[in-house]
Structure 1
Amino acid sequence: MIKKILLTFLSILFLFGMMLFLSNYVIDSATKSKTYTSTQKIPKNTVGIILGTAKKLTNGLPNTYYSNRIAAAVALFNAKKIEFILVSGDNGSIYYNEPNTIKKDLIAAGIPAEKIFLDYAGFRTLDSMVRAKHIFGLDNATIISQKFHNDRAIYIAQKKGLNAIGFNAKDVSSPSGLKVNVREYFARVKVFIDLLTNKQPKFYGEKIEIK
């Protein structure tokens, strides 16, 4: 009996390991050569989508992922490789509003307010990609986040009819960065579950034209 339980557990563990491996392999293969680190080499798109994250960590310290994404968006705009910025993030409560916070910092960095559009219902990467296509009417876009996140976002975008490339913000090499990268493996498994179940964004709403 114990041997049977052990074999069942090992089989489940093996299958889960294969799911982790295959999910990451498929996404990495499908998005190869679709992300850039140079503002000179990246093709131009009308709209760049900066994916939201918290400005501060739970311990109150600055979130380097956040500041690096802001810097990447500003660099891309100043290089004239995007004309508008769509900020897509979580606006889950009156106390937490990623899009507004990012917009304020983009303006402080010199981006004109009229060039910034906000998606308040980008609760997940899937929501951000689907809403960019169906609410904001985009056919092409440059996604701005760290490479691991860009790869996943680009893969989802491809499956949802949005032609996307990515501009990679500088990554984080601290212990918190390692934790985020480990979590990304599991997030990629969730991508395929969402696609198989035809998961939809939490909200759609009125169409918004970026111009």
Structure 2
Amino acid sequence: MRGPRRLRLPRTRAGWRRLTQAVAAGCVLALLPPTWLYVTTGGRAGTVAGAPRTDVAVVFGAGLWDGEPSPYLAHRLDAAAALYRAGRIEVVLVTGDNSREDYDEPDAMRTYLVRHGVPDARIVSDYAGFDTWDSCVRAKEVFGVDRAVLISQGFHIRRAVALCRAAGVASYGVGVADRHDVTWYYGAVRELFAAGKAALDVTFEPDPRFLGPKEPGVRRALADAGRRPAAPLPRDAGR
């Protein structure tokens, strides 16, 4: 019975040179998508303090713990509530996963925001935000959002801005600061791979897993707010 094959390393200088070149090329290719995200979102991401006044904020789901928002998601919602209390936004669109009966991110997000001072009438739920691309496309096509402040962790926010801009939503990203724990580092490493998928999403513009009919929730919430005109976003542009 044969044992596992052992990795065979090059035995010549030429072989080592080819291996080094292949590794270098692989590293360059792996870094291209994150570099693209950084370059294309320059000037369109910052902190809560620097967020422009905009009608709509979009908060992306980040998991539940025993039916409650995870600490990372709670920090995103805290930022949205702070922007609302400061009069910087009028409506919050919460977008997350509700693919099964026992898991409902949007309703948990709504409940949390109401507890923190955001009126229920100013919150709109997207129950089919299964990933960032789906959330961005649905914000535009289903809820009619043309411009928005996006709220997520710093390691994710540039990807969110790039995808929402590609979907036709002029966006400014608010990166929420968090303690650099194991979860944070996992998210940061995951983004290296997610950047590649983002590049494919922007290139091929796939349909969301579920699109569905247009919904008037954002329009009605803005009508309830009286909808004061918002100033243009920094470097405001759709695509």
TM-score normalised per structure 1: 0.89
> What SS does the aligned partner of 2:163 have?
helix
Counterpart in the other structure of 2:206: 199
Q: Does 1:32 align with 2:42?
A: yes
Counterpart in the other structure of 2:128: 121
> What SS does the aligned partner of 2:92 have?
strand
> What SS does the aligned partner of 1:173 have?
coil
Structure 2, unaligned runs of 5 or more: 1-7, 221-239
Q: Does 1:189 align with 2:189?
A: no
Separation in 2, partners of 1:27, 1:129: 16
Counterpart in the other structure of 1:175: 182
- Give the alignment partner of residue 19 of structure 1, picking from 11, 29, 36: 29
Q: Name the aligned partner's letter for residue 79 of structure 2.
A: A
Counterpart in the other structure of 2:62: 53
Separation in 1, partners of 2:16, 2:97: 42
Q: Does 1:137 align with 2:144?
A: yes
How many residues align? The count is: 208
TM-score normalised per structure 2: 0.79
Query: CA shift at 1:38, angstroms?
Result: 3.6
- Give the alignment partner of residue 147 of structure 1, picking from 129, 144, 154: 154
Larger Rg: 2
Separation in 1, partners of 2:150, 2:170: 10
Q: 1:154-191 CA deviation, whole Å, 9 max, x = no partner? A: 10111121100012222231122111111111100111
> What SS does the aligned partner of 1:27 have?
helix
Distance 1:115 1:12, change over 3 A: farther
> What SS does the aligned partner of 2:34 have?
helix
Distance 1:96 1:185, change over 3 A: same
Structure 1, unaligned runs of 5 or more: none
Query: CA shift at 1:196, angstroms?
Result: 3.0
**RMSD in angstroms over aligned alpha carbons?**
2.5
Instruction: Check conservation: 2:58, 2:148, Cα contact below 8 A.
Output: yes
Separation in 2, partners of 1:14, 1:166: 32
Instruction: Check conservation: 2:57, 2:150, Cα contact below 8 A.
Output: yes
Instruction: Check conservation: 1:88, 1:122, Cα contact below 8 A.
Output: yes
Q: Name the aligned partner's letter for residue 148 of structure 1.
A: F
Q: Name the aligned partner's letter for residue 35 of structure 1.
A: A
Distance 1:199 1:80, change over 3 A: same
> What SS does the aligned partner of 2:112 have?
helix
Distance 1:110 1:18, change over 3 A: same
**Percent identity for Structure 1 against Structure 2:** 32
